[in-house]
């Protein structure tokens, strides 16, 4: 049942977030609107950290994956839980810094960091730069030398593990734009190079197998392979690396058909695999970093829309148009991502028809979901998409010059705006 945990239905039959009526939230703040539950985010961070502490002999860190959801209040919440963050751009790094995230807990990713990006990261004292390729390694050495600094790095490894997920979000295989390939021996060449560069301090390795993984086997396998690589590096070069970043990817439920384990259960299995593989090889257990994005924020969020037109085409389909779309959630248009939709004013009502929910953009492909069972729906009704906390706000755009929705945080029965709704002025602010 998707309506569980912090989501409920009150005596009026309305959908609630931590007891707060979503119909009231929509009235107060308008639609389209992102709504997020703070306690859910905090509990997800804490339970993962506890699983790391239980299973990883030398401890570790949760580094929230910025790309899933990046705004200042998000970083404040993450930092206040003692966690760090990964960033893939200087824009994310800047936002994290502005929010007071300690830079030593920041991991800087990306397959194309420019010289300017590398300089920005070093000047601001970012904790670890996750080096993606040889060109970057040499460019970083040059920038660090110029600044008279040493760059602490992790090396991104592509371990060649197929996690059987959607090909658009699969990055662990050999055919990947990311990282140094393990199969070809490139990883060991890169380690040898890194160890020879005077302004590079190689701290450890990184990998990210895939996103939305439900099967623990590839995660455990990746952990074993990566510790094996660390052992091999020690054998070849006499250097025992001390940090292992295993990326993100813990799967979550978007519909009743999805049955993942809670992320902390995957974490415990992975952590145990790291500790055991290290001990079996007489290798010091590394400090383990994980970078979950989706599993921290997805379920904490929902999006509220108002229904506009309902177009019934007999024997074809019924389009239910809403006041948002690919501008606030491009994931269905991009890769047919599944979501659960409910009518907040009739959250307990039985479905009576199957509809297609379409967005407001001038684009036939702007659909939010097809084959959605809904109770009778009409213009003016509220409609909610559940599980939109990850990769929705962060992927939003101003296509068709729609202002981006606000983000409202629910905590302890109170609501507050954490990202203001854009205005028309915002949309045109850079136009000369
Ligand atoms: C996307 C990504 C993550 C986060 O993935 P989730 O599936 O959201 O947990 C973490 N690390 C890296 C390098 C990524 O590319």
**Which of 291, 301, 337, 393 to mutate to test ligand 1, by most ligand atoms within 8 A of the CB atom?**
291
Which atom, in ligand 1's list, is nearest to the CA of 67? 1
Beta-ladder partners of 64: 85
* Ligand 1, CB cutoff 6 Å, lining residues: 65, 67-68, 86, 109, 208, 211-212, 247-250, 291-295, 390
- The C-alpha R_g of the chain, in whole angstroms, comes to 23
- Looking at residues 370-395, what average pLDDT do you find? 98
Residue 163 pLDDT grade (very low, low, confident, very high; cuts 50, 70, 90): confident
pLDDT beyond 60 at 156: yes
d(CA 15, CA 7): 7
70-74, 123-127, 207-211, 323-327: least confident range:
207-211
**Residue 1: per-residue pLDDT:** 81
SS3 346: helix
- C-alpha distance from residue 269 to each of 188, 223, 243, 283, 345 (Å): 27, 10, 18, 19, 41
- The residue among 150, 148, 146 whose CA lies nearest residue 126 is 150
* CA of 292 relative to ligand 1 center, distance in Å: 6
Q: Residue 32 in contact with residue 39, Cβ under 8 Å?
A: no
Ligand 1 nearest atom to the CA of residue 294, by list position: 8
Residue 375 to residue 353: CA distance in whole angstroms: 6
Q: Give the mean pLDDT of 75-82.
A: 98
CA of 166 to the centre of ligand 1 (A): 14
Tell whether omega for the bond before 313 is within 30 degrees of 0, i.e. cis.
no
- Distance from C-alpha of 23 to C-alpha of 5, rounded to nearest angstrom: 19
* pLDDT of res. 173: 61
Do 180 and 191 contact (CB within 8 A), yes or no?
no
8 Å CB contact between 180 and 186: yes
Q: For the segment 246-281, what is each residue's pLDDT rounded down to a tens digit? A: 999 999 999 999 999 999 999 999 999 999 999 999
Which residues are known to be catalytic?
362
* 70, 173, 206, 211, best to mutate for ligand 1 pocket (most atoms within 8 Å of CB): 211
* Averaged confidence pLDDT in the chain: 96
Question: Are residues 189 and 231 in contact, defined by beta-carbon separation less than 8 angstroms?
Answer: no
Would you state the pLDDT for residue 162? 76
Residue 389 has a CB neighbour count (10 Å cut-off) of 30
How many CB atoms within 10 Å of residue 395?
Answer: 17
For residue 413, give the DSSP letter: T
- What is residue 166's predicted lDDT score, i.e. its pLDDT? 45
Ramachandran region of residue 197, left (φ > 0), alpha (ψ -120 to 50) or beta? beta
Nearest protein CA to atom 11 of ligand 1, as residue: 247
Strand pairing class (200-206; 151-158): parallel
State the average pLDDT over residues 64-75.
98
Return the higher-pLDDT residue of 394 and 164. 394
pLDDT above 70: residue 169: no
Could you tell me how far CA 385 lies from the centroid of its own chain?
Answer: 18
The alpha carbon of 64 and the centre of ligand 1 are apart by a number of angstroms equal to 9
Query: What is the per-residue DSSP string for 108-133?
Result: E--S---HHHHHHHHHHT-SEEEE-S
The rounded distance, in Å, linking the Cα atoms of 408 and 412 is 13
Q: Which residues contact 177 (CB under 8 A, 6 or more apart)?
A: 111
Helix (H) or strand (E) holding 184: none
45, 248, 395, best to mutate for ligand 1 pocket (most atoms within 8 Å of CB):
248
Q: φ, ψ for residue 320 (rounded to 5)?
A: -110, 110
pLDDT given for residue 167 in this prediction:
44
CA-proximal residue: ligand 1, atom 12 (nearest): 247
Is the confidence at residue 174, as pLDDT, over 90?
Answer: no
pLDDT of residue 171: 55
H-assigned helices in 318-358: 331-335
Rounded mean pLDDT of 25-41?
98
d(CA 2, CA 74): 24
Q: Is the dihedral of CA 322, 325, 328, 331 positive or negative?
A: positive
173 or 205, higher pLDDT: 205
Which atom number of ligand 1 is nearest to the Cα of residue 298?
A: 8
Instruction: For residue 289, report the distance from its CA to the centre of ligand 1, in Å.
Output: 12
Res 300 pLDDT > 70:
yes
Average of per-residue pLDDT across 303-310? 98
What 8-state DSSP symbol labels residue 253? -
391: CB partners within 8 A, 6+ apart: 67, 68, 69, 293, 294, 298, 331
168 has pLDDT over 60? no
Atom of ligand 1 nearest to the CA of 156: 13
Residue 217 belongs to what H/E stretch? helix 216-237
pLDDT of residue 160: 84
Q: How high is the pLDDT of residue 366?
A: 98
Q: What tokens appear for 363 in the block?
A: 């684009």
Q: What is the mean pLDDT of residues 284-304?
A: 98
- Taking residues 180-194, what's their average pLDDT? 95
Q: Is 155 helix (H, G, I), strand (E, B) or coil?
A: strand
Q: What atom in ligand 1 is closest to the CA of residue 213? A: 7
Distance 208 CA to ligand 1 centre (A): 7
């Amino acid at each position: 049942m998707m309506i569980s945990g912090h989501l409920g239905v009150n005596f009026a039959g309305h959908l609630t977030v931590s007891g707060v009526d979503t119909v009231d939230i929509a009235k107060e703040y308008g639609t389209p609107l992102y709504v997020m539950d703070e306690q859910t985010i905090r509990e997800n961070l804490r339970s993962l950290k506890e699983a790391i502490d239980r299973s990883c002999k030398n401890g570790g860190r949760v580094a929230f994956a910025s790309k899933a959801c990046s705004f200042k209040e998000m970083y404040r919440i993450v930092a206040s839980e003692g966690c760090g963050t990964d960033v893939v751009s200087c824009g994310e790094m800047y936002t994290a810094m502005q929010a007071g995230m300690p830079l030593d807990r920041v991991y800087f990713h990306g397959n194309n960091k420019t010289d300017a990006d590398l300089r920005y990261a070093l000047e601001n004292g970012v904790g670890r730069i996750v080096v993606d390729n040889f060109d970057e390694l040499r460019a970083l050495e040059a920038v660090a030398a110029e600044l008279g600094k040493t760059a602490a790095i992790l090396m991104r490894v592509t371990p060649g593990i197929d996690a059987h997920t959607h090909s658009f979000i699969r990055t662990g295989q050999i055919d990947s734009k990311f990282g140094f390939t393990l199969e070809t021996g490139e990883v060991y060449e890169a380690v040898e190079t890194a160890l020879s560069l005077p302004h590079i301090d190689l701290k450890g390795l990184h990998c990210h197998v895939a996103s939305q993984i439900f099967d623990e086997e590839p995660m455990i396998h990746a952990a074993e392979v990566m510790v094996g690589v660390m052992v091999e590096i020690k054998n070849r070069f006499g250097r025992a690396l001390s940090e292992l970043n295993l990326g993100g990817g813990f799967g979550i439920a978007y519909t009743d058909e999805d049955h993942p384990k809670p992320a902390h259960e995957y974490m415990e299995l992975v952590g145990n695999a790291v500790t055991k593989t290290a001990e079996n090889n007489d290798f010091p257990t590394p400090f383990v970093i994980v970078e979950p994005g989706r599993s921290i924020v997805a379920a904490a969020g929902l999006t509220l829309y108002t229904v506009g037109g309902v177009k019934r085409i007999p024997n074809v389909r019924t389009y239910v148009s809403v006041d948002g779309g690919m501008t606030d959630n491009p994931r269905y248009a991009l890769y047919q991502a599944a979501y659960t939709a409910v009518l907040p004013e009739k959250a307990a009502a039985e479905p009576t028809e199957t509809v297609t929910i379409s967005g407001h953009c001038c684009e036939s492909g702007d659909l939010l979901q097809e084959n959605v069972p809904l109770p009778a729906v009409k213009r003016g009704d509220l409609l909610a998409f559940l599980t939109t906390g990850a990769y929705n706000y962060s992927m939003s755009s101003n296509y068709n010059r729609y202002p981006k929705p606000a983000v409202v945080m629910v905590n302890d029965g109170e609501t507050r705006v954490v990202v203001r709704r854009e205005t028309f002025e915002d949309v045109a602010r850079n136009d000369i």
